[in-house]
Amino acid sequence: MSKLFSFSGSDNFFPGGSIYPNPKESSLFFSLGHHVDVYFPHHKRSRFSPPIVFSGERVEKKNPSIEILPDECLFEIFRRLPGGQERSSCACVSKRWLTLLSNIHRDEINDNNKGGVVSKVEDQDVEGDGYLSRVLEGKKATNVRLAAIAVGTASRGGLGKLSIRGSNSTCGVTNVGLRAISRGCPSLRVLSLWDSSSVGDQGLCEIADGCHQLEKLDLCHCPAITDKSLLAVAKGCPNLKDLTIEGCANIGNEGLQALARCCPNLKAISIKDCPLIRDQGIVSMLSSASFTLTKIKLQALNITDVSLAVIGHYGKAVTDLSLISLPNVSEKGFWVMGNGHGLQKLKSFAVTSCRGVTDLGLEAVGKGCPNLKQLCLHKCAFLSDKGLVSFAKTASSLESLQLEECHRITQFGFFGSLLNCGAKLKAFSLVNCYGIKDLNLGLPSVLPCKSLRSLSIRNCPGFGDASLAALGKLCPQLEHVELSGLHGISDAGFLPLLETREADLVKVNLSGCVNLSDKAVCIMADLHGWTLEMLNLEGCKISDASLVAIAKNCQLLSDLDVSKCAITDSGIAALARSNQIKLQILSMSGCSKVSDKSMPSLLKLGQTLLGLNLQQCKAISSSAVDLLVEQLWRCDILF
């Protein structure tokens, strides 16, 4: 008897939890009208009275705790709370309450204010498209946080975008967390799951069952997700528009085929490193979404020429196409794709590490894509000068051409493409192409390429003064010039480029051109200083004389990089004395001759500076840097 009197609700006599396997089973509830809901359990509930404690002659009654109520009772209380803020407050009491609240469907909430008064709380995470966004990374990615998000955002229109990146090693995101999101966030439109090894088909199926407005799905390295999940998404989320699948080893053709059948609005797909996805899945998706699919990215897949043939025939709406590391695609695939006459709307085409890109294949693409504006070729080992020039002749709409690590391209291909390109080419980029040699080609008298505005040549060791001088005559309208890491460039080649300009330079990057001196910089500042906005002289052989010329002539300059240059305090003082220059970014990393004496000058320049790089300036003391940090509070200082 004494044990009975001292019972506090924690013994097995009455466990205090749910005594029914499914507390929300509809068969347990009977409606008596519009205003009354009565709960009838199958078995008679044990009556419970507050425990009585005898203390001498005095009898005390302990106040009962709400925690002794079973889950089904708490569920009925929570769903009748008057508003979302009240439910959010209850969720803060305990994990048990949070779990119960997060498992309540939105349509189960008996909220008289639903559709009425809108919360006055302004959420800082509302994006431009009007819905709430949450990102969970690493240790913050747990089921408890997802449950809190599901409950907390319900009163503010619901969560619209959720990104989960990584997972907590001990209590990470699992199917339980996604279940809470599916029940509390039916308006979810964007879901990203990255490196979520504990999330499987059950969790994604819950999302598909509860979030029918889903428009974008991003799955990256989720090994437990299979075709079963994509079948559920295809059935439950017909509005899906954007699909990204990367590193999901158990997703194959069946999932893609289901999406192709059930998602007529699909506009963009990106599939990478999924060994089970082959031609069947890609073909079904492309053929079903022929008039809606605009963006395609295929990388590291076991597809063949068949997929490229289907792209060339059915890609009637495709505007952006990216093909990366497709070892089983040959020259025939690119040739058939170009001759399929289906890529009439293609504007951007990027190819990386595909052995099928040959002279014949690229020429076919140029002929079959009349509206192509941007071409990026990376690591195309079998492409030569002949194919590049042939492509330039046929691609009359081309505006931008980028070549990187295409080592069979030489001076002849580079200048040949400039001579034969259409009148719309505006940008040309040449990066890490070791086939370039500095030869005096003796270009014929032809009309210059006056449409070219931007030129970038980076880390091409063979590009030297002779090539640069010829380039100046051929492209007189250049405004943006990047000559980075070119040890063969000196004043002798750079000066002709400056003197043959019909247009004034706006952005110039000469980083790593170790043989350029003050002479070239001073002449550039004199001829083009009044239009220069960005100038990078990192590693150039310049001194304070260049800074004096810049301070005198470059009124519009906002970004200046003189890192690893032999400048001193006098050069910084010259910049500070100029009343015209209004620098926003100044980088002088590795300038060992700049000392604490430059502090007054830097403080004056700091009136307009937003970024200052003083890394590896060994002559500047830490106390001077502390002063700059204190005074230039709005400037981001690196030291």
DSSP string spanning 285-334?
HHHHTTTT--EEEEES----HHHHHHHHHH-TT--EEEEE--TT--HHHH
Q: Which range among 54-63, 512-521, 571-580 shows the weakest confidence by mean pLDDT?
A: 54-63
Report the distance separating Cα 525 and Cα 502, nearest Å: 16
pLDDT in tens, 109-161: 555 444 433 333 333 444 445 478 888 888 888 877 787 777 766 656 678 89
Report the distance separating Cα 349 and Cα 398, nearest Å: 11
3-state SS, 62-116, equals: CCCCHHHCCHHHHHHHHCCCCCHHHHHHHHCCCHHHHHHHHCCCHHHCCCCCCCC
The confidence score (pLDDT) of residue 147 equals 77
Average pLDDT of the segment spanning 576-604: 94
Beta strands 585-587 and 611-613 are parallel
Average pLDDT of the segment spanning 55-81: 57
pLDDT in tens, 398-427: 999 999 999 999 999 999 999 888 889 999
Q: Is the pLDDT of residue 281 over 70?
A: yes
The confidence score (pLDDT) of residue 527 equals 93
Confidence band of 92 (pLDDT split at 50, 70, 90): low
**Residues near 216 by Cβ (< 8 Å), separated by ≥ 6?**
189, 190, 191, 240, 241, 242, 243
The confidence score (pLDDT) of residue 159 equals 84
| Summary mean pLDDT of the chain | 83
Q: Is the pLDDT of residue 638 over 70?
A: yes
Confidence band of 167 (pLDDT split at 50, 70, 90): confident
Ordered by where they begin, the domains of the chain are 67-108 (1.20.1280)
pLDDT in tens, 518-543: 999 999 999 999 999 999 999 999 99
| Residue 430 and residue 403 in contact, taking contact as beta carbons nearer than 8 Å | yes
The confidence score (pLDDT) of residue 20 equals 43
Let me know the angle formed at the C-alpha of 236 by 231 and 238, rounded to the nearest 5 degrees: 95
More confident residue, 328 or 443: 328
Average pLDDT of the segment spanning 610-627: 94
| Residue 364 and residue 335 in contact, taking contact as beta carbons nearer than 8 Å | yes
Handedness of CA 388, 393, 394, 395 (dihedral sign): positive
More confident residue, 434 or 19: 434
Beta strands 585-587 and 534-536 are unpaired
pTM of the model: 0.79
pLDDT in tens, 454-501: 999 999 999 999 999 888 888 999 999 999 999 999 999 999 999 888
Q: What are the C-alpha distances in Å from 52 to residues 3, 12, 268, 449? A: 11, 18, 68, 98
Report the distance separating Cα 99 and Cα 96, nearest Å: 5
Q: Is the pLDDT of residue 22 over 70?
A: no
For 526, the token pair is 């004199």
Report the distance separating Cα 100 and Cα 163, nearest Å: 23
The DSSP 8-state label assigned to residue 123 in this structure reads P
If we measure between CA atoms, which residue out of 507, 457, 528 comes closest to residue 487? Answer: 457
The confidence score (pLDDT) of residue 156 equals 60
Q: Which range among 42-51, 80-89, 449-458 shows the weakest confidence by mean pLDDT?
A: 42-51
Average pLDDT of the segment spanning 207-223: 95
If we measure between CA atoms, which residue out of 115, 113, 78 comes closest to residue 98? Answer: 78
Q: Is the pLDDT of residue 105 over 70?
A: no
Q: Is the pLDDT of residue 249 over 90?
A: yes
The confidence score (pLDDT) of residue 295 equals 97
Average pLDDT of the segment spanning 266-282: 96
The confidence score (pLDDT) of residue 2 equals 39
More confident residue, 130 or 208: 208
The confidence score (pLDDT) of residue 32 equals 38
Confidence band of 313 (pLDDT split at 50, 70, 90): very high
Other residues' Cβ atoms within 10 Å of the Cβ of residue 367: 16
Question: How would you class 402 by CB atoms within 10 Å of its CB: exposed for 0-12, middle for 13-18, buried for 19 or more?
Answer: middle
Q: Which range among 140-149, 266-275, 330-339, 549-558 shows the weakest confidence by mean pLDDT?
A: 140-149
Report the distance separating Cα 349 and Cα 361, nearest Å: 13
